[in-house]
């Protein structure tokens, strides 16, 4: 057995339902556009034009925040950010119907999330989630080897014959997603650097920036945890308000840190 920490006031959430609730809370203050792909940003008369296929104007504003994961590098102004795409496969394990007799191994039904090298969730809509893998490839399909990896780790978290047997009996089910990660595994929150305009650099304050263009990127596996704090940090920068973090941490999250390191190595 292994020891651990119990966070009595901790909780867990379904990301999709949480995002839907936040969108609903915005009401008419937020204009939603879900059917357009942004291909280009143009700076015109002090504002950013957001354009899609064929140069179609989608939106226009003095301030734009890129919060689209590794999709950000498809925009010219963010193309040189060192963001990587990490595949993750989550395994879905159906909980047997109590009204039906079955001899198949059942997943563990826990009252809270348990994490170690991997994680397992309480059942939601009849499904227990276990995961997730870290793979350096772009395969969007479910794979048996990734499921076996998840179930092997699950058996280490929740010992027992029934859980161990899932590796051989559980149907291939789950989902595949892709994390956006930076080399130092810290998020990027702040004004985006202007790589082509950069010359000799000594400090972060010397890094040239695209006016009115910001990023909230690189959350890796911790989007639900980091996103609210990073958004609060960005708002403090936009409003010239005191930041929620000390200066050293703000610098560690600055999107210009990679350009500064690059220039320091080449000088």
Question: How far is the CA of 5 from the CAs of 115, 156, 198, in angstroms?
Answer: 10, 17, 46
Predicted confidence at residue 159, as pLDDT, reads 87
Both tokens of 63, joined, read 């301030």
User: What pLDDT is stored for residue 98 in this prediction?
Assistant: 60
190 touches 254 (CB < 8 A): yes
Q: What is the DSSP letter of 187?
A: -
Domains with residue ranges and CATH for the chain: 15-84+182-266 (3.50.50.60), 86-178 (3.30.9.10)
Q: What is the model's pLDDT at position 60?
A: 96
**What pLDDT shows up at residue 15?**
87
pLDDT over 70, % of the chain: 97
Mean pLDDT of 193-210: 94
Inform me whether the pLDDT recorded for 101 exceeds 90. no
Contact 266, 248 (CB under 8 A): no
Tell me phi and psi for residue 217, to 5 degrees.
-140, 170
State residue 100's pLDDT score. Answer: 62
Residue in 199, 205, 208 with CA at minimum distance from that of residue 264: 199
Task: Write down the pTM of the prediction.
Answer: 0.90
Peptide bond into 73 cis (omega under 30): no
pLDDT in tens, 219-245: 999 999 999 999 999 999 999 999 999
Please say if the pLDDT value at position 111 is more than 60: yes
pLDDT of residue 88: 97
Q: Which of the listed ranges 8-12, 166-170, 239-243 does the model predict with the highest average pLDDT?
A: 239-243
pLDDT tens per residue across span 85-95: 999 999 999 99
> Residue 107: exposed, middle, or buried by beta-carbon count in 10 A (0-12, 13-18, 19+)?
buried
Q: Categorize the per-residue pLDDT at 47 as very low, low, confident or very high, splitting at 50, 70 and 90.
A: very high
């Amino acid at each position: 057995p292994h020891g651990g920490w119990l966070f009595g006031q901790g909780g867990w959430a379904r990301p999709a339902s949480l995002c839907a609730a936040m969108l609903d809370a915005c009401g008419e203050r937020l204009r939603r556009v879900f059917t357009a792909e942004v291909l280009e940003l143009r700076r015109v008369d002090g504002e950013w034009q957001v354009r899609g296929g064929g140069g179609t104007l989608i939106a226009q504003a003095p301030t734009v925040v890129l919060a689209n994961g590794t999709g950000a590098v498809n925009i010219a102004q963010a193309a040189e950010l060192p963001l990587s795409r990490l595949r993750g496969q989550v395994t879905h394990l159906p909980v047997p119907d109590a009204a039906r007799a079955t001899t198949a191994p059942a997943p563990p039904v826990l009252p809270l999330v348990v994490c170690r090298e991997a994680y397992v969730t309480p059942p939601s809509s009849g499904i227990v989630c276990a995961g997730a893998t870290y793979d350096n490839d772009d395969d969007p399909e479910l794979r048996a080897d990734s499921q076996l990896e998840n179930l092997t780790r699950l058996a280490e978290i929740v010992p027992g014959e029934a859980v161990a047997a899932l590796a051989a009996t559980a149907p291939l089910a789950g989902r595949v997603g892709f994390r956006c990660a930076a080399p130092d595994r810290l998020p990027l929150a702040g004004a985006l650097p202007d790589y082509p305009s950069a010359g000799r650099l000594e400090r972060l304050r010397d890094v040239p920036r695209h006016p009115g263009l910001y990023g909230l990127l690189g959350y890796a596996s911790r989007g639900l945890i980091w996103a609210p704090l990073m958004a609060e940090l960005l708002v403090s920068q936009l409003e010239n308000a005191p930041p929620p973090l000390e200066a050293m941490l703000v610098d560690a999250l600055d999107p210009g840190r990679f350009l500064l390191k690059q220039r320091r190595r080449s000088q």
